């Protein structure tokens, strides 16, 4: 049976890595065009420019293939550099973080991955959990740690930094993320992101700036 084929049975190396990326890039295009349910291993092999036999050498099925795509998205997210220097003032840092965060969640190639994760999370909860933990929760924890440093510096007065961090992240999404992810509006422009993030920063500081 196909499901008994190991995820990767060739030695790791540059050629192997290149072939895996080639397959994943082709699969991503198919998932974008046809959705998870509509995608087939035949279509993926054709889009990737490989034989179906080669495809199964690297991936047992489209579930494991999509899981690998999500894993790659998680790793790319982990490489994003937010300037969360604990000595940096809150207003400057929040504006910069908010814009960088929205660039990530509303990037053109990221929307299809998020939509597909949302669509299959009920059937594949491990994929949904992994994406949430390594993309959304990870960003929240990094921001919460920064907020904690600014509380210690007496710039901010926050009892629950993880809650406050999530509040800020969600305020940055207002009027932008949901219309984009449900394809009601196109990718927001940098100017639109800046306007929403600036508003979110003002509201956040009005509620959490330490009183003199």
Task: Write the class of the CATH domain 2-70.
Answer: mainly alpha
Q: How confident is residue 14, by pLDDT bands cut at 50, 70 and 90?
A: very low
DSSP 8-state code for residue 50? S
The count of other CB atoms within 10 Å of the CB of residue 153 is 13
Whether the CB-CB separation of 23 and 55 falls below 8 Å is answered with: yes
Q: What is the mean predicted confidence (pLDDT) over 131-160?
A: 94
Report whether pLDDT(153) > 60. Answer: yes
Residues carrying CATH 1.10.357.10, the chain: 80-208
Q: What is the pLDDT, as a whole number, of residue 13?
A: 47
Alpha-carbon distances of 157 from 52, 147, 160, 186, rounded to whole Å: 58, 9, 9, 37
Q: How confident is residue 1, by pLDDT bands cut at 50, 70 and 90?
A: very low
Location of structure tokens 């991936």: 59
Q: How confident is residue 15, by pLDDT bands cut at 50, 70 and 90?
A: low
Phi, psi of 82 (to 5 degrees): -90, 135
C-alpha angle 126/186/63, rounded to 5°?
20
Q: What is the pLDDT, as a whole number, of residue 110?
A: 65
Q: What's the CATH architecture for 80-208?
A: Orthogonal Bundle (1.10)
The count of other CB atoms within 10 Å of the CB of residue 25 is 13
Tokens of 103: 């660039």
The model carries a pTM of 0.77
Span 62-104, pLDDT tens digits: 888 888 888 777 677 656 778 999 999 999 999 999 999 998 8
Tokens of 202: 């003002």
Residues carrying CATH 1.10.10.60, the chain: 2-70
Q: Work out whether the CA dihedral 185, 191, 193, 199 comes out positive or negative.
A: negative
The count of other CB atoms within 10 Å of the CB of residue 114 is 20
Q: What is the crossing angle of helices 138-152 and 161-173, to 10°? A: 120
């Amino acid at each position: 049976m196909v499901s008994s084929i190991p995820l990767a049975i060739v030695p790791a190396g540059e050629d192997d890595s290149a072939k895996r990326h080639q397959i994943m890039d082709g699969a991503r295009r198919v998932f974008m065009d046809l959705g998870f349910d509509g995608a087939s291993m035949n279509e993926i092999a054709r889009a990737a420019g490989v034989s179906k036999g080669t495809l199964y050498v690297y991936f047992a099925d489209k579930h494991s293939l999509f899981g690998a795509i999500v894993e790659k998205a998680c790793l790319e997210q982990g490489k994003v550099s937010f300037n969360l220097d604990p000595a940096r003032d809150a207003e400057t840092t929040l504006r910069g973080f908010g814009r960088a965060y929205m660039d990530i969640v509303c990037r053109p190639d990221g929307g299809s991955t998020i939509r597909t994760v949302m669509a299959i999370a009920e059937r594949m909860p491990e994929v949904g959990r992994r994406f949430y933990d390594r993309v959304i929760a990870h960003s929240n924890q990094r921001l919460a740690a920064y907020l904690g440093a600014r509380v210690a510096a007496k710039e901010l007065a926050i009892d629950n930094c993880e809650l406050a961090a999530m509040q800020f992240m969600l305020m940055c999404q207002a009027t932008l993320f949901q219309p984009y992810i449900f394809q009601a509006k196109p990718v927001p422009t940098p100017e639109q992101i800046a306007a929403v993030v600036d508003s979110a920063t003002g509201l956040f500081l009005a509620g959490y700036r330490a009183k003199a």
